[in-house]
Amino acid sequence: MIDQVDEFNSYRAKMNDKILSENNKVLKRIFNLDTNAFSEGALDKKTKELLGLVASTVLRCDDCVKYHLEASHKEGITREEVMETLSIGTLIGGTIVIPHLRRAFEYWEALENAE
């Protein structure tokens, strides 16, 4: 499962580099805004990552869920905190979220096994 984490990060980095090399001002600003939005502020990074995880779960964006799971893992967020956050996202999103919940759970396990 460690390959799953490496594969996601490699692909994400490669494609981000390609996108940003286009030198498009709007895209660069969007990427920068996203980075800055999840920096320390009135809310700490941990809270922001969990909020991002809930929103990404509800929106059913697997790449976004993986990103926020990995950032949460790096912030030291516990398995229990992640599972509670995913449960809230599933409650809000409804049963259509369950396939994304499965992939999120699988990715969290891959992150834990990569330690």
pLDDT band (50, 70, 90) for residue 2:
low
pTM for the model:
0.91
108 CB contacts (<8 Å, ≥6 apart)?
A: 69, 73, 79, 82
pLDDT of residue 114: 86
Q: With beta carbons less than 8 A apart as the criterion, state whether 97 and 58 touch.
A: yes
The percentage of the chain sitting over the pLDDT mark of 70, rounded to a whole number, equals 98
State mean pLDDT over 8-23: 95
Write the CATH number for 73.
1.20.1290.10
Q: What is the pLDDT of residues 67-83, one digit of tens each?
A: 999 999 999 999 999 99
For the chain, the domain total comes to 1
Which residues constitute the domain of residue 68?
Answer: 4-113
**Quick check: 60 and 53 in contact, CB under 8 A?**
no
Q: Which residue from 6, 2, 8, 9 is spatially nearest to 113, judged by alpha carbons?
A: 2
